[in-house]
Chain A
Amino acid sequence: MKSMNRRNFIKNGLAGGLAVAATAKATESKAAGGTFGGYPDSMGVLVDMTKCIGCRTCEAACNKEQGLAAPDKPFDDMSVFEEHRHGGLPRRTTEKAYTVVNKYEVEGRDHPLFRKFQCNHCQEPACLTSCFVNAYTKTPEGAVIYDPKVCVGCRTCMIACPFYVPAYSFSSAINPVVVKCIMCYDTRLKFGRAPACVEACPNGVMTFGKRKDLVDKAHKTIQDNPEKYVSHVYGEKEVGGTSWMYLSDVPFEEVGFDTHLGNDPIISYVKDFLGMVPMVLTIWPALFTGFHLLATRKDANTDDTKS
């Protein structure tokens, strides 16, 4: 909470402020702010991938709930699992889909493993911290939501997101916007209800609840079935923790998860630069005026002897 208040304080304090002053203030608070670590009572979803049968009901529910464009192939068409995009990669979120399910054939496992993919709703979202018009908000309920009315379309959030989640409606000429899962914030999460995909799942793959309870539940599940699950809760700590977390019975890197992201939120890599900004702003003027005085000292000296 502390960090969020500070952010608001800066935002208000800056209305109409000077660029130079603005950047200095903001970066000072960033550098001193430490990590945010998330809202204490935020909600989350725990995905037990071992239970997923790849029926795509969640994709259909999401499409309906969010009023998205009709998909290229109907949701009961399972041939999409064989589709590959550029570079032989499986399907990803697009301007028509907030979430997709992908199939992974894993050696030594009787059935393929299905992985649901959507925004993970980071505790300290990279998209939010990289946005220069504050289009993103991490709500206390845990969702990372986006305001299309202020978005300029620079797409830095797409660069910053370590999970490659945000898509962009490139097809629109007059109102292209970022497209990503908002955890059904407007229609459900705000009122304490589970996202549409969670509710629609026929197999109970996803559990909706307070994030901190879900962390405990995840560890208990692993503890109770140590021979079944991989001993890792993906999303508990990755890039500062995410609201969506995953359990798997095969190593995560084999089913498309990036296991090299580290536990620091993305903004921590940027802080070295941000902390330096106010120093340059304050030290450079005196330093370079000093250089000028030194460089032109001969003129000053001759003037002195003349008078």
Chain B
Amino acid sequence: MQKIVDNGFKPVDTLEKPGANRPWTIKEKVLLGLSPAEYVQQMVRNPFNWILAVIYAVGVPVLLGRFYYGLGWATHGSYDYPWGLFLGWGLFVMVPLSASGFMMGTTVELFGRKDFKPLERLGLLNGLLGYFFAVLFLEVDLGQPWRLVYPMVVSLGPAAVLFLVAWHVATYLSVQIAELVPAFSEFMGWVKPKKMVKSMVLGLTVAGIILSTLHQGALGALFTYAPGKLHPLWFSGAFQWIHFFCSSIFGGLSMLLVVSTLCKWFLKWRCDDTFLRSLDRITVGISKGCALALITYLVIKITALAHDNEWSLLLTGWGQWYIFEMTVGVVMPLTFYALSVRNNRPGMARFAAFLAVFGIALNRLNTALIAYNWKLYPEIPHWREFTIAIMVYATYIVVYRGVLYRLPILFGWKEDDK
């Protein structure tokens, strides 16, 4: 795509078709102003699409097999490890990395920091898609996915932590859809829905904060049901929920920095000047928030060690693994974020963001799979489970990219004031 743009092509970035005196049709907008043949051509030319094709060629049959032959075929069907990669990765890693939506909403709409606005929509989209695909992962994992609405309408178990997760993720998904209505209505050329959302944006943002606090925390609280199964270094009866909530703050923001960096590298043609010009400044600004969240997280993690008096466990093999997680996933990003703020170095902030995202993923996988059942035996997920997880995640990337191509996320419509 970059090549076509370098050759003088301009992707759709206006509402009116220049010289035609009429708005672009939806079809034209979907094809970015290219003809269908040209569009297919640029698709084929993109090497990333070839990788995707391989992933789908292997992944689709395996996914169909999972629904035809059952979970026992796609996974080890372990009674000791009832949760595998689908939840370990798809739910527990993806949800904290999608906290960017409520963080950016809070920064811009609630704290009134309009200077962060160029990255707000990307934050919201990152949140919405992350949650949506977490639900898809859940649907792959559930024994009877067609019963997904049972906790809402058929049989309520309101005293369970997962009940709260289910309701809050569902409600929060609607909140995030509402928050992205403006971008979509601009794409469609509607006026009314955008105005309506604008009038309730503060309410939506506050709802987002409440729901996020509770369900991010609830994902941690789910593991308080397994005090004897999860290794004590990752288990904290008193603080588990706040560990998960606090780490989701820098997790979501760091993921946003990672995504914005990838956009800058691979989707530069789609970013407008405002986005490119302000990205470095906003990156350093977000670093400040990340550093604050990281130092808080580090201290409450140490507090948990002291609270349960687990210092001696640090000397064991598990302790070294824990120290590795905390060093690479917390202390190092904290240092680099702090230095990037002090020396105004956006590049260093981006490096810190990659580390922090890795740290979150490692922490959640440790909690859900690796340090879980530490007294029993380690289990490596079935290759089919890996295949399906990679395919669903690839779909997440495809949808993400497709939206970024089209909706005004990285760019604003020119002459939008009309």
The chain A residues found within 8 Å of chain B, CB to CB, are 7, 10-11, 14-15, 19-20, 22-23, 25-27, 29-30, 86-89, 92-94, 126, 129-135, 147, 150-156, 158-160, 162, 164, 166-168, 170-173, 175-177, 258, 260-262, 266, 269-270, 272-274, 276-277, 280-281, 284-285, 288-289, 291-292, 295-296, 299
Whether a CB of chain A sits under 8 angstroms from the CB of B227 is yes
Q: A153-B147, A168-B143, A270-B225 are in contact. Are A296 and B112 (CB under 8 A)?
A: yes
CA distance A306 to B106 in the complex (A): 28
For B229, list chain A residues within 8 Å (CB): 159, 162
Residues of B within 8 A of A166 (CB): 79
Contacts of B150 in A (CB 8 A): 133, 150, 152
Contact with A along B224-262 (1 / 0, CB 8 A): 111111000000011011000000000000000000000
* Residue from A151, A262, A292 within 8 A of B144 (CB atoms): A151
CA A126 – CA B224 in complex, angstroms?
11
The answer to whether A272 touches B238 (Cβ under 8 A) is yes
Given A14-B156, A171-B70, A177-B143, 18 more contacts at CB 8 Å? A20-B210, A22-B156, A23-B164, A26-B158, A86-B379, A88-B377, A133-B150, A153-B147, A154-B142, A159-B223, A170-B77, A173-B69, A176-B143, A269-B237, A273-B217, A274-B221, A284-B206, A291-B110
A168 to B141, CA, bound (A): 13
Verify A176–B71 contact, CB threshold 8 A: yes
List the B residue with the shortest CB-CB distance to A133: B155
Out of A133, A277, A281, A288, name the residue touching B110 (CB < 8 Å). Answer: A288
Are B143 and A132 within 8 A (Cβ)? no
Min CB distance B213 to A, Å, is 5
Measured CA separation A21–B67 after assembly (Å) = 35
Most buried by B among A25, A26, A30, A132: A132
Report how far A269 CA is from B228 CA in the complex, Å. 11
Can you name 10 A-B pairs with beta carbons within 8 Å?
A22-B156, A29-B159, A133-B154, A134-B157, A162-B227, A170-B75, A173-B70, A273-B220, A276-B217, A280-B213
- Which of B142, B157, B206, B210 has the most chain A CB atoms closer than 10 A to its own CB? B157
Question: Which of B's residues lie within 8 Å of A, judged by CB?
Answer: 67-72, 75, 77-80, 82-83, 106, 110-113, 142-145, 147-148, 150-152, 154-168, 170-171, 202, 205-206, 209-210, 213-214, 217-218, 220-229, 237-238, 240-241, 376-377, 379
Contact status A132-B166, CB under 8 Å: yes
Which residues does chain B contribute within 8 Å of A126, judged by CB atoms? 225
Residues on A with beta carbons closer than 8 Å to the beta carbon of B75: 170
Given contacts A170-B70, A170-B71, A292-B111, contact A152 B238 (CB under 8 A): no
**Which one of A135, A168, A269 lies within 8 Å of B224 (CB-CB)?**
A269
Residues of B with C-beta under 8 A to A152: 142-144, 147-148, 150-151
Indicate if the CB atoms of A92 and B79 lie closer than 8 Å.
yes
Q: How far is the CB of B16 from chain A (nearest CB, A)?
A: 34
* A175 surroundings in chain B (CB, below 8 A): 144
Report the separation of the CA atoms of residues A80 and B225 in the bound assembly, to the nearest whole angstrom: 32
Q: Which residues of B contact A19 (CB under 8 A)?
A: 152, 167-168, 170-171
Which of A158, A168, A276 contacts B241, CB < 8 Å?
A276
In the complex, residue of chain A having the shortest beta-carbon distance to the beta carbon of B142: A153
Given A23-B167, A86-B379, A170-B77: A274 in contact with B159 (beta carbons within 8 A): yes
Cross-chain contact of A134 among B155, B220, B376 (Cβ < 8 A): B155
Docked-complex contact A133 and B157, CB < 8 angstroms: yes
Q: Which residues of B contact A277 (CB under 8 A)?
A: 164, 214
Asked whether A258 and B228 contact (CB < 8 A) given A11-B158, A130-B160, A152-B147, the answer is: yes
